[in-house]
């Protein structure tokens, strides 16, 4: 399979039609490669996209031409992968109608250089295995570097392509307990490139995949559990539309709905006859107001909860009139026992970067003081997280390791699209990395629970108003990744770069 691009030229004024066709090809192949990401998991698409990029490193007539190839590939890749962002803009189209056509491409413009730079640098290596290994290492490091954009945007790491539904996906993601999702990115890109490197490389990959699967299967069947008994959790999903939350009448109806779901869920939880703590979770913005300033509402919640403790997503206002996206811990009487303020905010969604000279958002939130671990009766040792915070590999637990993680989110913004499914994939991989059970309570979906191996215990599908009640499993012993974090995949990338230099030296 060969792509001949040497005859294309890029004058500084007007590009020839043949060049425009080539740019369209770059965009199309990039979009095709994104099909490997959740929720489609079309792995051959990633291998084809990587082959196209690699051939561009061989056939591009100049560095400038190669840069354009890689940039437009990245633009197509991230635009397709983030197309669901348009749904969030349409939720408030009367305010942000002008952003509808530019939401996904605008983010892709920022992210495309994270593909372009590795492609340019790997051209320094000789063609063949050395260049392929170097590209995989640099791609992974660039993917990891996305945490440094604004507050960070590590959405859709390439390693998430291994999170296939069911048992096969459970097996494939087990090495994340050692190397994290970024290590899976390195493996995915290496496999996607080396599969084209000849018969010997393919046979080697088959052997490596067999070892990989054996490791994953053993990890699943021989978990190293701690003796901690986690609580029974009741996850609530109200299926409330965002525009209803924003209206007064809709907010009152949503509050009554969550009171009813709480009462029903607690009744189901008591039927389990488990001698454990009992806690219910309302999703992000589940309470449509300021919970700490509304004592009557807290009494009503406590009455509906019938003696159970709760974690409730709500906004909060401090004495300086600053607003926070928060989680409140309520005891059986409705008193607030702990508050967690979201510390990593969504750029352009919850805050506006300072370099923009004009105001884009009607209101901005204030970040909290950082991650925390609550140790409270009924709840045990829990790490509270709000929505976006769960996507940061190696940065989801506080100074003290919790026994489980609770993520509350409001994915109603994204509609019934790839967005909520990609978000859920990050929840699953965090469970494997940390060796902790993770639950997610979402307003419209998807609400789910995973054990410390990333195996899905139960879920509520998108668009369902219901509760999910389960006895949360025990945490695993601390994983290698939870102990050392992203230094593990960084070290692997450095070793791959040294290997690439060695292979290139031998060839020369």
Catalytic residue numbers read 284, 342, 387
Residue 228 burial class via C-beta count within 10 angstroms: exposed 0-12, middle 13-18, buried 19 and up: middle
196 Cβ contact partners less than 8 Å away, ≥ 6 residues apart? 1, 47, 51, 54
DSSP per position, 337-357:
EEEEE--SPPBTTTB--TT--
Q: What is the token pair recorded at 250? A: 């809709």
For the beta carbon of residue 273, count every other beta carbon within 10 angstroms: 6
Which is it for strands 447-450 and 404-409: parallel, antiparallel or unpaired? unpaired
Helix (H) or strand (E) holding 448: strand 447-450
Locate tokens 């009640």: which residue? 469
Give the DSSP letter of residue 231.
P
**What is the phi-psi region of residue 74: left when phi exceeds 0, alpha when psi lies from -120 to 50, beta otherwise?**
alpha
- Rounded CA-CA distance 223/174 in Å is 11
Cis preceding-peptide flag for 39 (omega within 30 of 0): yes
Helix (H) or strand (E) holding 467: strand 466-471
For the beta carbon of residue 391, count every other beta carbon within 10 angstroms: 26
Q: 237: which strand partners?
A: 466
Q: What is the token pair recorded at 164? A: 């296939």
Locate tokens 């090809």: which residue? 25
**What is the phi-psi region of residue 224: left when phi exceeds 0, alpha when psi lies from -120 to 50, beta otherwise?**
beta
Distances (CA, A) of 267 to 233, 262, 309: 12, 9, 14
Phi/psi of residue 398, nearest 5 degrees = -80, -165
Nearest to 144 by CA among 395, 400, 341: 395
Q: In what order do the strands lie in the sheet with 404-409?
A: 374-376, 380-386, 404-409, 438-442, 447-450, 456-460
Phi/psi of residue 12, nearest 5 degrees = -75, -20
For the beta carbon of residue 1, count every other beta carbon within 10 angstroms: 7
- Rounded CA-CA distance 180/147 in Å is 15
Helix (H) or strand (E) holding 178: helix 176-194
- Rounded CA-CA distance 76/331 in Å is 49
């Amino acid at each position: 399979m060969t792509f001949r691009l040497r005859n294309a030229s890029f004058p500084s004024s007007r590009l020839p039609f043949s060049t425009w066709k080539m740019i369209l090809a770059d965009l199309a192949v990039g979009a095709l490669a994104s099909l490997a990401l959740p929720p489609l998991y079309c792995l051959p698409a990633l291998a084809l996209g990587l082959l196209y990029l690699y051939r561009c490193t061989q056939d591009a007539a100049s560095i400038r031409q190669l840069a354009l190839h890689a940039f437009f590939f990245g633009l197509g890749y991230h635009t397709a992968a983030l197309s669901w962002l348009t749904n969030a803009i349409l939720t408030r189209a009367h305010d942000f109608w002008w952003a509808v056509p530019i939401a996904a491409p605008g983010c892709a413009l920022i992210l495309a250089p994270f593909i372009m730079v590795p492609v340019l640098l790997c051209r320094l290596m000789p063609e063949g295995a050395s260049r392929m290994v170097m590209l995989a290492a640099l791609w992974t490091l660039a993917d990891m570097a996305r945490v440094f954009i604004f507050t960070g945007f590590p959405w859709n790491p390439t390693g998430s392509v291994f999170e296939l539904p069911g048992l096969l996906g459970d097996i494939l993601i087990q090495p994340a307990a050692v190397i994290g999702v970024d290590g899976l990115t390195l493996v995915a890109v290496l496999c996607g490139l080396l599969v084209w490197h000849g018969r010997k490389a393919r046979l080697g990959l088959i052997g490596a995949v067999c070892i990989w699967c054996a490791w994953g299967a053993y990890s699943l069947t021989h978990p190293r559990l701690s003796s901690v008994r986690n609580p029974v959790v009741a996850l609530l999903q109200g299926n409330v539309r965002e525009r209803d939350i924003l209206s007064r009448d809709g907010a009152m109806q949503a509050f009554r709905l969550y009171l009813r779901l709480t009462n029903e869920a607690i009744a189901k939880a008591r039927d389990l006859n488990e001698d454990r703590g009992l806690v219910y979770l309302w999703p992000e913005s589940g309470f449509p107001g300021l919970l700490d300033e509304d004592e009557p509402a807290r009494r009503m919640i406590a009455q509906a909860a019938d003696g159970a403790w709760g974690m409730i997503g709500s906004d909060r206002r401090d004495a300086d009139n600053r607003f926070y996206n928060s989680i409140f811990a309520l005891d059986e009487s409705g008193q607030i026992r702990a508050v967690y303020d979201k510390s990593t905010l969504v750029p352009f969604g919850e805050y506006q970067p300072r370099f923009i000279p004009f105001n884009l958002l009607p209101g901005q939130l204030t970040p909290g003081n950082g991650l925390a671990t609550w140790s409270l009766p009924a709840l045990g040792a829990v790490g509270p997280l709000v929505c976006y915070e769960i996507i940061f590999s190696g940065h989801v637990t506080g100074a003290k390791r919790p026994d489980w993680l609770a993520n509350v989110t409001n994915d109603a913004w994204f509609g019934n699209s790839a967005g909520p499914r990609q978000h859920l994939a990050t929840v699953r991989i965090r469970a494997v990395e940390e060796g902790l059970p993770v639950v997610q309570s979402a307003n419209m979906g998807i609400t789910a629970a995973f054990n410390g191996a990333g195996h899905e215990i139960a879920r509520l599908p998108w668009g369902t108003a219901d509760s999910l009640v389960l006895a949360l499993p025990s945490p695993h012993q601390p994983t290698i990744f939870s102990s050392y974090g992203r230094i593990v995949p960084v070290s692997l990338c450095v070793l791959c770069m040294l290997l690439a230099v060695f292979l290139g030296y031998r060839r020369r």
